[in-house]
Amino acid sequence: MAEIAEGLGVSRATLYRFFPNRDALIREVALDSLRVIEEAVTQLPPTVLSCRQAFQQLIEALVPYGERYYFIMNEPRAMRDPTVKAAVERQYDAMYELVDAAKAAGEIDATLPTRWVGAMFDSVIWAAWWSVAEGNVAQKDVASLAMRSFWSGMRTP
């Protein structure tokens, strides 16, 4: 908590007024991240012509939040919180519906496990964000590269 307070430029006492312990802080950061991700998705146009276009729109909307994805998935205390876990599961359920629709439409290889495709999607989002953050890929190019990488690995051979 001392390091977090220092990073925020506040005293530990101030931080403890808002968050009684590290778990409470992690929970709030995770819930805020989930709200931001959900908001980005709800801003997408309601109609798309194909599942491929839906994935493209998701990538474009979510890449800027790759760090938040990474935090939620790599902070075990976050997923132990029932509210955080339920919110993550709702987001995954929506992803799995899209994956299953793409499989039914023949746009994604039907032999790939749905949860595998979801995990690969998450990995591409994080990798795209990280590549921009590290200066390895230009922001203007990253969504196209992410979609190409994801889609080429998921299509029917």
Q: Is residue 115 part of a domain?
A: yes
- CATH number of the domain enclosing 71: 1.10.357.10
- Supply the pLDDT for residue 21: 85
Q: Is residue 37 part of a domain?
A: yes
Of 91, 90, 146, 101, nearest in space to 121 by CA: 146
Percent of the chain whose predicted confidence (pLDDT) is above 70? 96
Tokens standing for 145?
């590269």
Rounded to an integer, the average pLDDT of 37-63 is 86
Percent composition of the chain: helix, strand, coil (DSSP 3-state, to 5) = 80, 0, 20
Q: Is residue 4 part of a domain?
A: no
Structural domain boundaries, residue 76: 22-154
- Supply the pLDDT for residue 69: 81
CA torsion angle 125 55 90 80 (round to 10): -10
Q: Is residue 8 part of a domain?
A: no
Q: Is residue 16 part of a domain?
A: no
Please give the model's pTM, rounded to 2 decimal places: 0.81
Of 89, 63, 93, nearest in space to 78 by CA: 89
Query: How many domains does the chain contain in total?
Result: 1
pLDDT per position as a tens digit, 97-119 = 999 999 999 999 999 999 999 99
Q: Is residue 53 part of a domain?
A: yes
- Supply the pLDDT for residue 3: 73
Higher pLDDT, 131 or 66: 131
